[in-house]
Amino acid sequence: MASCSEYNQECTSWNWCKLCNSTRLKNNFNKWTSGNDTIDKFIQDAQLNVDYYEKVIEWIPYERFHDIKEISKGGFGTIYYAKWIDGVISYWNRENQKWERDGQREVALKRFDVIGDMNEDFLNEMAIHLRARTMGENPSVHFYGITKDPETRKFMIVLEYLKDGNLRNYLNNNFNNNIAPEVLSGEEYTKAADVYSFAIIAYEIITGLPPYPDAAHDNALALKICNGLRLKIPFHTPKLITQVIMRCWDARVTCRPTFEELHKELDKYYNDYMLKYNEITIQIEAEEFYKNKITTDATSTVPLNYKTHPQAIYISRLLDFSNLPKPKNEENFEKKLEELTESFSHIIITNDDIDEEMEVEEIGEIKEMEEIRKTEETGEKELKEPEEWADCYIKR
């Protein structure tokens, strides 16, 4: 990494000296204000700690946007398309002593509608976007800064505009019905509830379906969820992935994995799959084989078109369910989870399982992979029955 010519400090990224640029940004603090001390401090603190030009967030005057158009509206807020005239900071021009910018760019403006001028939800949203912005150089959605609608006098978050929409638009829905059962029954929202929601999104990616599209999203459904109702994971899903999702849906919040554990586990599956010839590879290959070849089971395919119940609501809204019981799992939840911990050798396909027209060569390849797995020394013994399990069947 190159060194800064002014302070002889090592640059934290290409053409970016943290010491130099934080000083320049600080010297500009008296030239702008949002009119709100909390927001000003939030932006200033972020600018003093930035280590890469693409991570800079700013106060952006509303007049620097044009072609503003409403593109989406939910129960709590509105999202607008806009063009930002200046664009993001690119680098410091030493000769002209000013920030150079990359020019006009498309952005999304997110405004909260049902709340006041400044509130905890808005601050939390800013903090989440900033954390995602600073954790890596390529966050899923870039956070550029904050502005204020002069007509409504509400603050707006300035985000990267995604032409194809966000993940939920891609999955053809905008909803908040991935709420954990304990939250439905009135308990505080925790990180464990986010883990439950993460598994709902995983289900959507696997199936292409929103949660419970054929049911009214009312007190009756909330009651069923608190009593153990869960979405049906397609049979062709690799058992290791099914196990992860089910653990996230455990009604006992202390039995759900943490995000740190999920990251470690899913990262391992990804690396194992890239290396081939291991449990996750065998499961994916075999389940794809089932999915593509076996058509007699009605659950083997996911309908591309589905009818949505008229009372299935997929926009943000306030939830007020009363008299819901303490959440619990279905009666056979632990048994199902325990069965999923077994090695795939217990469910490997045989000639009796498949149609006579299926290619024998493909069957042989899958069986050969299983034999290789059996003889391969992984050093972790992960394919065997775990030696120690907590009461909630979470591997510790």
CA dist list (Å): 355 to 191, 344, 363, 392: 46, 21, 11, 39
DSSP state of 346: G
The predicted-structure confidence for 291-327, as pLDDT tens digits, reads as follows 666 544 444 444 445 565 555 454 444 455 667 889 9
Q: Quick check: 171 pLDDT over 60? A: no
* pLDDT confidence tier of residue 13, bands split at 50, 70 and 90: low
Judged against a pLDDT cut of 50, whether residue 255 lies above it is answered with yes
Q: Which residue has the higher pLDDT, 25 or 8?
A: 25
pLDDT of residue 221: 84
Q: What is the pLDDT of residue 86?
A: 96
At residue 299, the pLDDT reads: 42
More confident residue, 185 or 250: 250
Nearest-angstrom CA–CA distance, 169 and 164: 8
Identify the burial level of 16 via C-beta atoms within 10 angstroms of its C-beta, where 0-12 means exposed, 13-18 middle and 19 or more buried: buried
Which two three-digit tokens encode residue 40? Answer: 């000003």
Mean pLDDT over 189-214 rounds to 86
Whole-number pLDDT of residue 222: 85
Output the pLDDT for position 132: 64
- Average pLDDT, whole number, for the chain? 74
All domains in the chain, ordered by first residue: 33-165 (3.30.200.20), 172-375 (1.10.510)
- Residue 83, pLDDT above cutoff 90: yes
Considering only residues 60 and 160, tell me which one the structure prediction assigns the higher pLDDT. 60
**Local confidence band at 383 (pLDDT 50, 70, 90 cut-offs):** very low
Of 81-85, 108-112, 161-165, 253-257, which gets the smallest average pLDDT?
A: 161-165
Which of 69-78, 122-131, 354-363 comes out lowest in average pLDDT? 354-363
Long-range CB contacts (< 8 A, 24+ apart) of 366-373? 366/282, 366/285, 366/286, 366/289, 369/277, 369/281, 369/282, 369/285, 370/282, 370/344, 370/345, 372/277, 373/277, 373/278, 373/279, 373/282, 373/345
pLDDT digits (tens, 9 = 90+) for 136-153: 545 557 889 999 999 988
More confident residue, 160 or 396: 160
In this predicted structure, what is the pLDDT of residue 81? 94
Task: Map residue 92 onto helix, strand or coil.
Answer: strand
For 70-79, 81-90, 263-272, 285-294, which range has the lowest pLDDT when averaged over its residues?
Answer: 285-294
| pLDDT at residue 11 is higher than 70 | no
CA distances from 254 to 80, 98, 122, 266, 300 (A): 39, 52, 29, 20, 33
pLDDT-based confidence at residue 210 (cuts at 50, 70, 90):
confident
- What is the per-residue pLDDT for 320? 56
Q: Taking 60 as the threshold, does the pLDDT of residue 161 lie above it?
A: yes
